[in-house]
Structure 1
Amino acid sequence: MSLRHDLRVIRAVAATDIRLTLREPLFAIIGVLIPINFLLLFLLFAISGGQAPIAVVMNDHGPLAERFVQAMDGAHSFIIHTASAADAEREIRSGSIVAVVTVPQEFDAALAARARIEIPVEVNNLNVDFTNDIRRAVPLSITSFYADAFPDQVVVTARESDVQAQDTGYIPYLAVSIMVAGLMLASQLQGSVNTARDYELGTIKELALAPVSRLTIGVGKVLGAAVLAAASALLLLAVVVLFIGVRPLHPLEVLGFGLLILAAFLALGVLVGTLVRRRQQAIPLSIAAVLPLFFLSGPFGPANWLGAIPGGIAAISPLTYAIAAFQHAFHGYQTAPQGLAVDAIVLAAFSLAAIGCAALVFGRRGARH
């Protein structure tokens, strides 16, 4: 009988939250659109910073010159287009490209004669990241080209042994990490906004005086916020799968870990909303909490690569385990040493702890309100 009563209370609290949200659609729309904007802005940042745009001036169109440009393209560090010397100079002066690489005249003839060749590289060194990419990738392209064109003359070569079964692009890898952060943001926004609204409207008094368990109220509020958070999650997933083209290798893992992430950060949102008690404060606080956790949780690569202190911080961030789990679900990568079972245990434990804290704080704050 007690279980049936608790389930009715959970259903009633969830239904009330959903009904109130539908009466004020502005906050619901904010909760759905902010995570999508978060995803798109970070992807635009990644696209603009992934590869350096350069112009190649072809003063020799021989087969070796063409193979050299192909070696540059194979370095995966450039966005290459050919241009005349005048056009290339105009582009680098206007800031639309990072470098101009000039293939000199008699390139093929000089190589055939084993003469020394200098390849002019003009660099716009305004951006140190792009500049360093150019400085590393051009010599690498030259070495790769020479080893391919004259294998008998290059006696030292690298032999690569891949840890992962397949490569993945920078954008597909980062898109999965950003999607996890978007799920966290959507869940935390909905949970915090719905809870803060109870304090603004005064419905907290009714909940605090009701003869029901605070844990039951907390679960009901998490489920109510979960409806809109799930809508935002589906929209994020659609953008990643349909528009970016990243399809999960293990769909059931996406579902399972997605539900764990939603539960964990919905509960955390309820806790935040209980503490601040104002929607205008809950929204910026939720956004501010996501950004540092995102960068400290290994979105660009395994968290172990961050170094001792950032890696130690990442070890206590639930977002670290969520990102590792989703990278395996989408790409099949094991990016963390702890394994999927530990990822699931950590996220489940965090969810239970957040729900418990939210129920405890919710009861104390409600009793004093």
Structure 2
Amino acid sequence: MAARRAVLAIAAKDILTWFRTPSAILASLLPPVAFLLIIFVVAGAVGRNPVALVVEDNGPQAQRLVSILEDSDAFRVQRASHDEATHLLDTLQVAAVITVPASFDDDFRAHRPDPVSVQINNLNLDFTNDLRRSVPAAITGFYAGQPDTPVMVGVAESDLRPHDVELVQFELVPILVLLLTIMGIVNGGLATAREFEELTIKALLLSPISRGTLIAGKILACWVTTMLVAAVVLVLSFVFGVLRPAGWYWLPALAAIGLIALAGAGLGTALGGALRRFSAVAGVGINLSIYLFFLSGGISVAAFLPEWIQDIVHFTPTFYGVDALEAAIFYQSADNLVRDLAVLLVTAVVGLGLGIMSLRRRLVEV
């Protein structure tokens, strides 16, 4: 009973210290927030391309093509005159100018070549290729709706997943795992390093508690703090409808989050015991967490990366955390949940073992 009270007292002290230390809060929260902002900016840049649409024909066929272009998922269409469109293209406000010529309907009825001109700002190949694919696709859609269409080939799409996931929404899961990792590694490491740097570790060792109790309190504090921050993120994500597991899939999602946080707490404690300096722990912990973020699919789908990177990814525990959370939150799939949770459980055990051994060794040296 006394040992349990001591563990809770040490944990409560560390939790309150974290909330009262702006530098620790910034070190834990700033990288995930920064990556979230980057994802928002990138998503806006690689989504629907802004184009200016010049319509010189008011005929029904021209208007039908215009409607297809405006409803396309590939464009953000802005109607403009010829001069306005030229100005928008020259000032980089649009990526291309699409012009429906004045003779469009007449040429269509006469079965004459009916070119729709596209002036592209080929600033980089990514934008250029998007436009080169999207405009012909819109024209193909236009002809597919004609009763005498010359396009006899259609596309029968079959989706592997039950629904589409927006890019920003998809990237929230790796960012959540980054948050858990940084909160565990950096917060756990800072809480441990602070005791050595400020020499309060000697006072703790002189108190009537065992080293095991002290270590358990440090790890528990880090895990609870991480889970509190994760709870706030999950509640906000649920309210806004961006991360919302359905039915029983809340259970594996929470299990994955808890195991990632526990592994991070153990590794953070190990790092703090090894380095014993606030600045060193923050630098190493943040960099390590960011490397794990990228290897777990932080800015891309890991399965689409080069083969040699995929070989490394499969030895990265956070990859399995991202996979488990994506399956539970987005797709309600249990295909790899057992494997993913098993890897996270082993990682948590290893992390705790490293934290206990590292801190116990340092305590003996004090």
* TM-score (structure 2 length as normaliser): 0.88
* 1:263 partnered with 2:262: yes
Work out whether residues 64 and 149 of structure 1, in 8 Å CA contact, stay in contact via their aligned partners in 2.
no
> In structure 1, which of residues 182, 185, 209 is the aligned counterpart of residue 182 of structure 2?
185
Of 25, 42, 51, 1:45 maps to 42
Matches within 5 A, 1:213-362: 216-243=213-240, 245-249=242-246, 250-299=249-298, 302-332=301-331, 334=333, 339-362=336-359
Q: In 2, Cα distance between the equivalents of 1:92 and 1:115?
A: 29
Q: 2-side partners of 1:292 and 1:29: how far apart?
A: 19
Distance change >3 Å, CA 29–CA 177, structure 1 → 2: closer
Contact 1:91-1:97 within 8 A present in 2 as well:
yes
Structure 1 range deviating more: 305-314 or 294-303: 294-303
Report the CA distance shift for 1:276/1:107 in structure 2 as closer, same or farther (over 3 A).
farther
**Partner amino acid for 2:237?**
V
Determine the C-alpha separation between the residues in 2 that align with 1:23 and 1:201: 16
The alpha-carbon distance between structure 1 residues 286 and 67, as it changes in their structure 2 partners (threshold 3 A), is farther
| Structure 2 counterpart of 1:139 | 136
The more displaced of 63-72 and 85-94 is 63-72
Say which SS state the counterpart of residue 149 (structure 1) adopts: coil
Q: 1:318, 1:209 → 2: CA distance?
A: 38
* 1:24 is aligned to 2:21: yes
Q: Does 1:119 align with 2:133?
A: no
Deviations, residues 282-329 of structure 1 (Å, cap 9, x unaligned) = 223222223332222224564222231111111111111111111122
Q: Does 1:99 align with 2:96?
A: yes
For 2:17, what is the secondary structure of its paired residue? helix
Structure 1 residue runs of 5 or longer lacking an equivalent are none
Distance 1:103 1:305, change over 3 A: same
1:263-300 Cα offsets, whole Å, 9 max, x none, are: 12222222222233222222232222233322222245
What is the number of equivalent residue pairs in this alignment? 364
Which moved further from structure 2: 153-162 or 289-298?
Answer: 289-298
1:191-231 deviation per Cα after TM superposition (whole angstroms, max 9, x unaligned): 12211211211133455677877555443212112333233
Post-superposition shift, 1:123?
1.4
Aligned-partner residue type, residue 220 of structure 1: G
Q: Indicate the SS of the match to 1:56.
A: strand
Partners of 2:304 and 2:191 in 1: CA distance: 37
Distance 1:366 1:63, change over 3 A: farther
Match of 2:64 among 67, 79, 82: 67
The equivalent residue for 1:85 is 82
When residues 80 and 269 of structure 1 are mapped into structure 2, their CA distance, relative to the original with a 3 A threshold, is: farther
1:126-164 per-position Cα deviation (integer Å, ceiling 9, x unaligned): 232212211222222222222233564211112111111
* Runs of 5+ unmatched residues, structure 2: none
| Matched residue, 2:361 | 364
**CA-atom RMSD in angstroms:** 2.7
How does the TM-score come out when normalised to structure 1? 0.87
Question: Displacement, 1:255?
Answer: 2.2
Note if contact 1:186-1:233 (Cα within 8 Å) is conserved in structure 2. no
Q: Which amino acid aligns with 2:54?
A: V
Q: Tell me if structure 2 keeps the 8 A contact 1:180–1:319.
A: yes
Amino acid at match of 1:359: I
SS at match of 2:145: helix
Q: Tell me whether 1:174 sits opposite 2:171 in the alignment.
A: yes
Residue 181 (structure 1) shift: 2.0
Distance 1:328 1:338, change over 3 A: closer
